[in-house]
Amino acid sequence: MQIFSRRIVQDAFLNMQRRTCVAVKKFVKIGMVVIFALLWSNAASAQMVLYDDFHTGSIDPTKWAGAADDQYTLEVLREIAAVPGVPKAKQLHLYERSYAPITDNNGTSGSGLGLSFANPSAVTAISFTLVVNKLSVGACNSNQNDGDVIAQFIGNFFNTDSPPTTQDHDVVSDIDIEHNLCSGCGGPRVTARVALQDGTPIFWQVLGTPTLKSPNTLFLQWDQPNHQFIFQLNNGPQVFAPYSVSDTSPPYYPSKQLNLLNLVPDCTSIPRPYGTLDADIQDVYVNQ
């Protein structure tokens, strides 16, 4: 399933993060669409419009499709909930608790929960407010792989082949709040990534430290004319990720999702590791 093919990408980034950590050791919701559009037009080429603020109290089937894989997830919750302290405002609330297999001590196993865009090909830029309420992941003493819990937007934007012949050559980009157990990684952080679906990395960078239990605005844009992706955390500086691969073909697997992803180390010892994520998503804007 798609979530497990994404594990290849995530595992590649985990390895890159470990190398990055070693190197480092060495050396209120915007209420008016007009205001939002003006703000982001100064920050990026995309003109943004409100896609969903979940105000109807239910998930709109014309905008969203389910995105989940629950082989290792034993506790899940996906619902529209009230925004505390903001009368009549609604948000998407996601919660999952995932366990790893106990058959061996190799690698990590992932489970995801979220929503997919009903028309993913139309989405080339996104901004959304993400509140991470709780996140944790356990380690395994007999498994050297690090656990990782991720709240993210992730999408397949284009394919490097013409015509596309395999999902492996889809170019995937995501922006997320994650907590990784790698040595030196520290606490939760916001990261930006670009890679091939087969795990070949193109770009990875830490954008900053999120404020847990508080709103964080995440922005990602595919800027095809300039052959780059653009990332931004809150009002921080934009980060540009240029690439040199061909970007004229559509993705082999068109998919864009807002989801939670738990990557837990496989472990035969006790206690059994698990990953927990609890997050709220508010005010999803996309390109006009």
CATH for 240: 2.60.120
Looking at the structure of the chain, the number of domains it has is 1
If you ran DSSP here, which 8-state letter would residue 210 be given? -
pLDDT by residue (tens digit) across 117-173?
999 999 999 999 999 999 999 889 899 888 899 999 999 999 999 999 999 999 999
The model's pLDDT over 178-205, given as tens digits with 9 standing for 90+, comes to: 998 776 777 899 999 999 999 999 999 9
Confidence of residue 45 (pLDDT cuts 50, 70, 90): low
Name the residue range of residue 241's domain. Answer: 2-287
Gap between the Cα atoms of 139 and 273, Å rounded: 6
pTM: 0.84
- Distances in Å between the Cα of 123 and the Cα atoms of 137, 161, 181, 192 are 31, 21, 32, 17
Contact 277, 73 (CB under 8 A): no
Is residue 243 pLDDT above 70, yes or no?
A: yes
50, 285 in Cβ contact below 8 A?
yes
Which residues in 216-253 are b (16+ Cβ under 10 Å) and which e?
A: bbbbbbbbeeeebbbbbbeeeeebebebeeebebebbb
What sign does the CA torsion over 273, 213, 152, 22 have?
A: negative
Which residues face 175 on adjacent strands? 153, 192
